[in-house]
Amino acid sequence: MEALMARLSAVEDVDIDDDGVFKYVLIKVSASNPVEEFSKVIVRGYSWAEYHADIYDAASQRIEPLGLDCECLGGGRIQHAPNNKRLKVYGYSMGFGKADHQITCDLLKTKYLNYNITWTDGGY
């Protein structure tokens, strides 16, 4: 059980680009043994990605070799303005559907402590 928890906790909760507007995905990462399952949700967002699936594929290729499972919970966009300390979460993924932006904001708040972080269901 400790080994599973260690692998799961080694996965960073938030990894997004430092500036700009980009696609993001919300991913459930889980570890299980025959008796128990442990999981957490992470957010990944990058401007290099043409599609939300590109982000999910890159993340799962790094995480699954650790013996963990990945499931995409949806996506959207993030507008990151570090000069104004603002993050805005909005939109959806054509392939994965809309992520729960409230969960995304809650995760972002753990890393970007002094930021104004908001979300909306509008926009693409």
Torsion sign (Cα): 105, 86, 90, 28: negative
Among 23, 24, 45, 52, the active-site one is 52
Q: Is 80 an annotated catalytic residue? A: no
CB 54 within 8 A of CB 37: no
Contacts of 43 (CB under 8 A, 6+ apart): 13, 14, 15, 16, 24, 25, 26, 27, 104, 107, 108
Euclidean distance between CA atoms 6 and 68, whole angstroms: 11
- Residues with a catalytic annotation lie at 52
